[in-house]
Structure 1
Amino acid sequence: MKDKAILRYNANERTNHWLVAILFFMAALSGLALFHPSLFWLSQLFGGGPWTRILHPFMGVLMFVFFLGLVIRFWRANFFIANDRLWLKRINRVMRNEEEGVPPIGKYNPGQKLLFWTLLACMLVLLLSGVVIWRVYFSQYFGITAIRLAMLLHALAAFVLVMSIIVHIYAGIWIKGSVSAMLHGWVSRAWAKKHHALWYREVTRDERPDNQISKKG
């Protein structure tokens, strides 16, 4: 079966992704426990309040480190190309699952690319602001104004990150085959050709212009 399929993610890439996902949920839950008293019950998942405060920043740093692994692997594939702008203009067709008239795209569509750079920006803000408010090691080097600003930026970046991940999960479920690709690594040729035609041509050396933009588009 695999001789008719295309490898989209190898074992190392899938492991890296799932480690980031696990650390994200742990950091998010522990962060919510510390964010508001009504959510403090979540701290019981980590052994209580003191352990939650200890573990949260370390989980955040580990998440950033593993996410850098994804950045190193995939940053080139997330640069925007001319077809991406046309794809965004015809997003209504994509939402209706109508591929005719939609320009072919590479390994990632423009929505995935926007998500990638948004996640990277949020991760950087969370790391830098987290260092400022990390009381045990670093906060004594910063004034109260800097700490308050860092806390605000940390909360805002966390909110954007959580919302982005929710969109990421929804899109992965909505586009059939996406979740399976990150679980098993393989996608069908039909799936690749339909959703990522330029990438399909690159990996299969198929130069037939089946998915070029319709003249009527």
Structure 2
Amino acid sequence: MTRTAAETRTIRRFGRTERAVHWVHAAAFLVLLATGLVLLVPDLSEIVARRALVKNVHLLTALAWAVALVAIVLLGDRRRLAALWREAEAIDADDRRWLRGRRAPQGRLNAGQKLNLLVTAAFAVLLTVSGVFLWLGERDHTFLLDGAGTVHDVVTYASAVLVTGHLYLAVVHPATRHALRGIVRGDVHEAWAERHHPKWVAAERERVD
């Protein structure tokens, strides 16, 4: 079947800095989640049987993740990152209708993607803060913080659920998996964008005109 011009035409969705932040965070998050679950779940810990090595990988990955994100923010396009964050925070009437399961036009990020970004950022902060206190507490008991371990464990399990849903929508679900192209290559097909993010497409056309 011959595709129309709108189906072959693409529109830029994410810049290099936004994609770099996503992939650095995604890669580190998967390693941290996998090693964290090994450290947390006794059955997995027994299967791997190299707890000290897994723990070192966990800690070094966390450090590399933090350094890489700081470097990207300092050297990349901070204005685009700030704009993305403002967009995620702006939950409007259309977003609320969308979250209630009603049809409503969406911007560059739909309401679900906005919530995913905000929750992921909150989880990253909670895991980092609780993880730092756990690491310090092992070396000096004065840094032991009641509840740090519980917070770290609960957020780890919640993250596993969030990541599973995110991967399903990005890789498996037919209606949404085209969005993966945007975070890999930076652009998406205009026809798909018009169906799923009409407010964003209209704003882009207005900006160009």
Q: Which of 18, 31, 42 is the equivalent residue of 1:26?
A: 31
Distance 1:136 1:87, change over 3 A: closer
Q: Which has the higher contact order (CA 8 A, sep 6+)?
A: 2
Residue by residue over 1:84-120, the C-alpha shift from the partner in whole angstroms, topping out at 9 and shown as x without a partner, is 11222234xxxxxxxxxx2211111111111111111
Corresponding pairs, count? 191
TM-score scaled by structure 1?
0.75
Identity %: 25
2:118 aligns to what?
Answer: 117
TM-score scaled by structure 2?
0.78
Distance in 2 between residues matched to 1:73 and 1:17, nearest whole Å? 15
1:49 aligns to what?
Answer: 51
Instruction: Give the superposition deviation at 1:141.
Output: 2.6
Distance in 1 between residues matched to 2:128 and 2:140, nearest whole Å? 13
Instruction: Give the superposition deviation at 1:67.
Output: 6.1
Q: Which of 86, 91, 106 is the equivalent residue of 1:80?
A: 91
For structure 1, the 5+ residue unaligned runs are 92-101, 207-217
For structure 2, the 5+ residue unaligned runs are 74-79
Secondary structure in structure 2 of the residue aligned to 1:133: helix
Distance 1:53 1:135, change over 3 A: farther
Secondary structure in structure 1 of the residue aligned to 2:135: coil
The 8 Å contact of residues 6 and 186 in structure 1, kept in 2 or not, is answered as: yes
Secondary structure in structure 1 of the residue aligned to 2:34: helix
Q: Which of 160, 163, 172 is the equivalent residue of 2:161?
A: 163
Alignment of 1:142-153 (within 5 A): 142-143=143-144, 146-147=145-146, 149-153=147-151
Instruction: Give the superposition deviation at 1:200.
Output: 0.6
2:77 aligns to what?
Answer: none
Distance in 2 between residues matched to 1:111 and 1:72, nearest whole Å? 19
The aligned amino acid for 1:171 is L
